[in-house]
Every structure is written in C-alpha cells, then in structure tokens.
Amino acid sequence: RSNPIVTKLETPAFKSIFTKEINDLVDLFNKYGYEIRIAGGAVRDLLLDKIPKDIDFATTATPIQMKEMFANENIRIINMKGERHGTITPRINDKENFEITTLRIDTATDGRHAEVKFTTDWLMDANRRDLTINSMFLGFDGSVYDYFFGYEDLQKRRVCFVGNADTRIKEDFLRILRYFRFYGRIALKPDGHEESTLKTIKNNATGLQRISGERIWSELKQIIDGNFSYDIVLTILDCDLGKYMGLPEIPNRDEFKFVYENSKKFKDKLYAVSLLSALLYTPEDAVALHERLKFSAYERDLCYFLTQYRKELLEIDDLLEYKKMCMKSYARKEYVEEILKYNGKVELYNELKAWKAPRFEINGYIVKQHGCPKGKATGTVLGKLKDIWAESNFKISSKELLENHLPGILSDLQDGGHKKKLKTEK
C-alpha cells in the first residue's frame, strides 16, 4: 500500500510498555540516527489490546553498527549467538535485555534455515515474514506500519500467509504448524480456514520430514493447549501431516474424540501429550512418536503409560485399585491421576488427587536384616510386601508385614529355586 501507516495506538496497553529501559533504548538509537521499531508478535498483541510477554525490535542498524554504538555507551551485550542472522541482545541499565534484529532479506532457504542479507528497507523485511498478522511494525509514537494488510486480517480474525503461501511455506516448512497455532490464537470459529491455504499446506506436507522433532513438538504442544484444539488437530490430520510427525498412518480418531470429550469435564487440563497419545493404538506407537518428537522423559513415560493401561483401567471404578497403582515402581501418582482424566472418571480423579500417598517404611536394608538375600530378590520381596500393604488399604503396620508376611514370601522364594542361601538371623 502507498502509505503503510494504518492507525495510531494510544491505548493503555501500549503506554504500559514504556519502561525507563525502553525509553533509554529508543533515545540511544535516535542519538545515533538509526531507526528502531517494535516488530512482529508484540504489535499483534497490542492491536488486540493485550500486553505482550516479549517485545522484539527491528532496526536499520547493522550488527556491527549496533556493537559499536553499545561499546561507545558502555552497554553490555549479553548474547552474540544471533549475530549471523542480525540479532544483538544488549542489557540496558543492567536491568533489561532486549533482542534487536537488523532488517534483512532471506537470500537462500532450504526449508529450515535461511541465509540472510541486511537491508534498510522495512517493506523487504516484512515481505520475508510468515503471516500478515506477524509482519507489522510499531513506531514509538504509536504509528502502526502494515505493508501486507495484516491490520485488516487481524480485524477479521483471519490468518493469511504474506504473499504467496507456497513460497512462504517452502522457505520454512515449520510455518505449516505456525499457521495452525496462530489460527487457534486469532480465529473466532474452528472451521474458518481458506480452502486454498489448506490445499497448499497439504501439497507441502512432506516438507515436515525435514523439520526436527523438537521444533514440531513445540508448535504442536501450543496448538493442543490453544483454542479449537480438537478441530485443528483433525484439520492437521486431514492435510495428511500426521505421518510426518510420528503418528500412525491412520490415527485413532475415535479415541481422540472420546478423550477430548472427557477432558471437558475437568477443571484441570490434560497434558498436551495425553491428548496426542489418544491418536495412538499401542505402547509401540508411543515409542515411535517419542523417537520422532523427542519428548521430555516425563512426557515419554506418561505417553507410554497411557497407551499401556488406558483400556484396562477404563473398566475399573474402585479407588483402591488406583491407589495401589500409585505405589508401583512404574507409575507416578500424577500419571494415575492423568489416566483418570483421560478416561473421564471425575469423582475418582478428585478423590485420588486429594489423597496423600503414605510412605512405605520398609526398605532393602530392613528386609536384608530380616533374612532376605542380596541382589534382585530384594526388589521382588519389597514389591510383594508393598502389594500386601496396599491391599489392606495401607493399614497393615511394618511390624506386622515383617513378622507375619515376610517369612512366607522368603519361603516361596526359596522354593522357587533361589539358590542364594537365606540368612536365618533376624
């Protein structure tokens, strides 16, 4: 458009961002004759009257010019890692860090990374960004600069790629998932996608193979935690993206719907990995999904636990059974609580959550003192004692377990062919 300034912000949210550090930063750039504006997500948030969590800046100054300027003013630079892509992070007044990136053009892309060339042209920088709603700039006088009608798209709650969608996606295939994440954040209804956009995404589905699992999972997690997650995940599957993200060829849509409906009964949200695990069929599927998405250890074990025990526990409505499971070495209490949410068992979930698991006082040293052989047998004996204790609703004392139940367990072990000689002293 001929005049990129589309509106002027004077909202309380906009005024609230002006800390002393930001004012000092702006004054510094003005003093050296460089332009600096707020870029991307913070502009979008402020136009929606939200106070942004992070503020990124764009400037006409090159990284070398910024380094010289900050050195002259004795301002410490915190992070030099982003310099190749134009990002410098100064610490202003030894209080606040700001990421400031030189305007740039992508000269070469491989679907994951870009080679960049610096520019002083704001339009050229806006043109390389992914979505129109993320391509705006904000001057410190409140002027909103919009070159690609992102302002209008935001008003209409529409998510569009900048320029040609196919070109934008091929520059970085992760933009496919960023599109869905921002759709969940911006859109007012679950099914307002433009058919041409979905078709372009589907045509580029194989490109996700080139994106690391960590980056995919980071986006997917936010999609699942956002608005319209059920509908958006189904749209993602309809675009044939699932198999490139580690999901089965034909994901388990029925289970996914069952779990999503169950999740609405609870005030506490399901973990994103729990909802995702509903698309799987077996624990082996959970292993394959982890290999692709590189879950944290907690997420990996939870996903495996859910796929292994969800069917078995669906039929069980006895609180004691869930308490007993909490005491098993393979189960954390949070995992058992999560499976109750997964299966929609509201009352049992509330009861188990309120229950404080008692401490099992008997340990390996104690059972060895009472005649248990060393080695693997110790774990077996402790497990059996713990089962008896749990079966009594955790009422049997340690004394009773050691005197009345341990001898029988040790006898069974000996009869079972354990060759280690049992101690007889207690």
CATH number, domain of 223, equals: 1.10.3090.10
Q: Is residue 80 part of a domain?
A: yes
> Is residue 183 one of the residues assigned to a domain?
yes
Name the domain boundary from 156, 186, 214: 156
**How would you class 256 by CB atoms within 10 Å of its CB: exposed for 0-12, middle for 13-18, buried for 19 or more?**
buried
pLDDT at 415: 73
Domain boundary among 245, 279, 308: 245
Q: Cα dist. 187→20, 182, 267 in Å?
A: 35, 8, 24
Both 15 and 140 in one domain: the answer is yes
One domain for residues 229 and 119: no
Residue 417's pLDDT is what? 54
Residue 69 has a CB neighbour count (10 Å cut-off) of 18
**Buried/exposed code over 164-201 (b: 16+ C-beta within 10 A; e: otherwise):** ebeebbbbbbbbbbbbbbbbbbbbeebeebeeebbebb
Range of the domain at 214: 157-245
pLDDT at position 374:
86
- The owner of tokens 């800390």 is 19
Q: Is residue 426 part of a domain?
A: no
Same domain, 255 and 348: yes
CA distances from 356 to 146, 333, 334, 359, 362 (A): 55, 10, 12, 9, 18
Q: Are residues 150 and 49 in the same domain?
A: yes
91 strand-pairing partners: 76, 97
Residues with Cβ within 8 Å of residue 293, at least 6 apart in sequence: 213, 214, 216, 217, 220, 245, 246
Closest CA to 292 of 221, 348, 209, 232: 209
Q: Residues in the chain with pLDDT < 70? A: 80, 110-112, 416-426
Would you state the pLDDT for residue 422?
A: 45
Q: 213-225 and 283-293 are packed helices; what angle lies between their axes, rounded to 10 degrees?
A: 110
**pLDDT for the residue numbered 227:** 96
**Residue 40 is encoded by which pair of tokens?**
């991307």
Shared-domain flag, residues 201 and 337: no
State whether 5 and 149 are in the same domain: yes
Residues 411 and 314 in one domain: no
In a domain, 38, yes or no: yes
Residue 42 shares a structural domain with residue 107? yes
Whether residue 425 is contained in a domain is answered as: no
How far CA 338 is from CA of 82, 269, 272, 310, 312, in Å, comes to: 39, 9, 11, 10, 14
82 and 126 in a common domain: yes
Whether 112 maps to a domain, the answer reads yes
Closest by Cα among 173, 133, 125, 159 to 48: 133
User: What is the structure's pLDDT at 426?
Assistant: 40
178 assigned to some structural domain: yes
208 lies in some domain: yes
| Cα gap 406→400, rounded to integer Å | 9
Go through the chain and tell me how many residues it has: 426
The span from the CA of 320 to the CA of 333, in Å, is 13
pLDDT of residue 111: 62
**Residue 102 in contact with residue 62, Cβ under 8 Å?**
yes
How is residue 300 written in tokens? 């990996």
99-102 and 56-59 beta bridge pairing: parallel
Specify whether 106 is located in the same domain as 2.
yes
Same domain, 78 and 7: yes
Q: Give the Cβ contact number of residue 222 at 10 Å.
A: 18
- What local confidence, expressed as pLDDT, does residue 106 receive? 82
Q: Where among 229, 245, 261 does a domain terminate?
A: 245
Q: How many domains does the chain have?
A: 4
Residues 274 and 401 in one domain: no
Q: What is the pLDDT of residue 110?
A: 67
d(CA 127, CA 104): 10
